[in-house]
Chains A and B, each alone.
Chain A
Amino acid sequence: MEWPLVDYARCVSVEVFWRFNLNPRVKDVFVTPEDYRRWIESDPEPSTILESDLGDQVIVPAANSWLVPSERIHRMSAAELKVQINFDQPPPYIVMVFSVERMIGAGVQVRPPTGIDAIPSRLTHWYRENVPDERIDRDIPRAALERVEWRP
């Protein structure tokens, strides 16, 4: 494990965000991810709403802590992101950005993934350098989060 040298990001679909990242009090009033998506889309500042709707728990558990250097996906549209990170979930996407300072402050270290890391999530399409410079970590806490971005 090593201390991160660059900012990293994790990309999820609205459905995964709704299922795992929403504050339970917010999730209580959205029966489906589609209703949550329409709610987000109706707001002029989706990123702000997404950040305020985040729960306090671990944002990304170790088995799913696949991170890509945020510089690599900077300003990409959802369609470009889908190709860049070999993502099979449908857009739009929510990008959680973890800055170097916050990751170090929260004790988050990273390492390059290996084939074994792909097993828990059955990422059968994964191969080394499929997504260049990606890293994984143990659990990533909320404290490591710099910002949330909405990529329609």
Chain B
Amino acid sequence: MATLDLPSPGLFASVLDVVRGSDPRQRTVALAFASLIDALNESEAEHLPAAIGGIMPLLRGDLERLRFAADALVRYDMFEAAGELAGIAIGTADRELLLSAAALCGNPGVDATVRDRVAIALVGVRVGQLRLDPTVQPKDEAELLLYLQRWPGSRSVDGPLRLAPVVVLDEKLGAAASLRFALRLDAVGAVVRRLAEDAFVPDWFGAQTVVCCRPSTRSRILSSRPDFPERQILVDPALDTERGVAIALHRVNAALGPTAHLRLNAYEPEMATTLWDPDVYSLGVYETREAAFLTSAPVSSLYQLARKGLLQPRQDGITLWSFSDLVAVRTWRFLKSQSRRRVSSSVVPALARFAGDRDAVRVGATSDGKVLVDRGGGWVDVQTGEQLLDLPIADLDDAFRPFTIGARQAPDLLHASQNTRLHPAVLHGVPHLRNHRISARALALLDDRGAEAAIHGAYPELEGQAIQDTIAIGHQLVGTR
């Protein structure tokens, strides 16, 4: 049976609702589109450019909103809608729309006939030609500024102009995940470009560009741009969860280097510092029951590790564990869950002693107790400084994901549930409600005393917010249910 390759009526209606319901003088593109983009499934995400392009004729009488919609197309590089935008821009002869169309047509994924139509409409307009064609050379500083935005392959590390870094997203990463990632990249100050599957590799790959792609696209880029540094290519970033996105943002930031940093605290305040920062990694205070829940280890195992001297928890009337203790035990448990062979407990003191590393993008461990960091150039042994290849290394990011060992379940360490977060620098590291300084434990205790009424009495700002999943985590932490 033939299927219509068009956005659904519901998607058209949702996009129209977003654009009509947003006053461009009061809202940003990201604020307007965030809820919609976060709710899209794969098919809807694939059709979003067509849906935005499709509603544009309805906005002919509202130039401000028309430009707003065009800005959304440019912001997330939805080049698939270039034809629709070009048609409207040429029809209205609006200069801003034409320049937006030109920006979109700079993407090599756009049909050449569409690009030619826009080029003809902008004949003699230098800022239009510079957007469209990398062979048009800038004549003065203002034009150079524009040129380097459009064609960031020409940027150098120490260039005098401060511009937004560029993150190129491979079309093969999947529409929904890419769009959600694009939304967050935009929020933290990156400019997004999307690399079409069959198009030539454009002049985007310079000192302030990072690529997120599939392995085949990596080869394609490097064969076309052999000078582009490998450390600026992130292959197969996990973008399917919020935590995966958070890790990917950190990796992009590390790959960008100091000249073009992202503003990670704009995404979530906790992200301003990396977990591996020595000032963060050593923080966190957990009671034994909490540590057991978060590591999946029985309480008796924790005490046993302490008795053997492998961990040295604080004794302050009660036993208190740090975030580094948690990571050490959890990684050991994770390695055990992945292997039928015996896993040495030597990884526990090694990770507990690890002081953190401000430049680490990833931290890993081997089953024989080596701790490794990746500062963007591959795994290095923290003790010897030796670069390690071909060793089975457990990335601690994987140990932070949920896993099962025997009958015990380890929750996601940093995102225990949809609305629950953990960061060692926030509330002494205890699981807490996202974007609030309210611990899951406090919510669970209030829930026990008087359910919703008690919670809303103590925290009226939570009325109408999704908190049930965090309450459930709180109950697991205190062991009341």
Which A residues have a C-beta under 8 Å from some C-beta of B? 12-13, 15-16, 19-20, 24, 27-35, 37-39, 41-42, 61, 63-64, 88-90, 120-123
Contacts and interface: CB of A to CB of B under 8 A. Distances in A.
Given A13-B28, A29-B127, A38-B162, A120 B191 contact: no
A55 to B, nearest CB: 12
B143 A31 contact: no
B68 to A, nearest CB: 8
Contact of A89 (B31, B189, B266): B31
Contacts of A64: 23, 25-26
13 contacts: A15-B28, A19-B25, A27-B96, A30-B146, A31-B74, A31-B149, A31-B150, A34-B189, A37-B189, A38-B163, A90-B266, A121-B23, A122-B21
A20 B27 CA distance: 12
B161 to A, nearest CB: 8
Given A15-B29, A31-B131, 9 more contacts: A16-B24, A31-B74, A32-B149, A32-B164, A61-B25, A63-B25, A89-B28, A121-B23, A121-B26
Contact of B145 (A20, A27, A39, A89): A39
A24 B142 CA distance: 13
Nearest to B29: A15
Interface in B1-57: 21-29, 31
B27 A89 contact: yes
Nearest to B75: A32
B186 to A, nearest CB: 7
Given A38-B164, A64-B25, A122-B23, A32 B191 contact: yes
B88 to A, nearest CB: 18
Contacts of A63: 25
B67 interface: yes
Interface string B187-198: 101110000000
Contact of B23 (A32, A38, A120): A120
A109 B149 CA distance: 42
Interface residues on B, range: 35 or more
A30 B28 contact: no
Interface of B: 21-29, 31, 67-68, 71, 74-75, 95-96, 99, 103, 127, 131, 142-143, 145-146, 149-150, 161-164, 186-187, 189-191, 266
B23 A30 contact: no
Nearest to A88: B31
Nearest to B148: A35
B164 A35 contact: yes
With a 10 A CB-CB cut-off, give which of B23, B25, B103 has the most chain A CB atoms. B25
Nearest to A39: B162
A142 to B, nearest CB: 16
Contacts of A16: 24-26, 28
Nearest to A29: B146
A28 to B, nearest CB: 4
Contacts of B143: 29
A12 B163 CA distance: 21
B74 to A, nearest CB: 7
A35 to B, nearest CB: 5
A93 to B, nearest CB: 12
Nearest to B127: A28
A30 B149 CA distance: 8
A90 B71 CA distance: 17
Contacts of A34: 164, 186, 189-191
A10 B31 CA distance: 20
Given A38-B163, A38-B164, A123 B26 contact: yes
A22 B127 CA distance: 16
Contacts of B131: 31
Contacts of A39: 145, 161-163
- Pairs A-B, 9 closest by C-beta atoms: A42-B162, A121-B23, A29-B146, A34-B164, A28-B127, A64-B25, A15-B28, A38-B162, A121-B26
Contacts of B24: 16, 19-20
Contacts of B95: 24
A35 B105 CA distance: 19
A35 B25 contact: no
A19 B74 CA distance: 13
B270 to A, nearest CB: 16
A31 B96 CA distance: 10
Nearest to B68: A19
A89 B23 CA distance: 12
Nearest to A28: B127
Given A31-B150, A38-B163, A90 B23 contact: no
B375 to A, nearest CB: 25
A90 to B, nearest CB: 6
A64 to B, nearest CB: 5
B127 A121 contact: no
A11 B131 CA distance: 31
Contacts of B189: 34, 37-38
A89 B71 CA distance: 17
B463 to A, nearest CB: 15
Contacts of B191: 31-32, 34-35
B193 to A, nearest CB: 11
Contacts of B21: 122
Contact of A35 (B67, B99, B149, B187): B149
A37 B131 CA distance: 19
With a 10 A CB-CB cut-off, give which of A15, A24, A42, A64 has the most chain B CB atoms. A15
With a 10 A CB-CB cut-off, give which of A28, A63, A120 has the most chain B CB atoms. A28
A34 B82 CA distance: 22
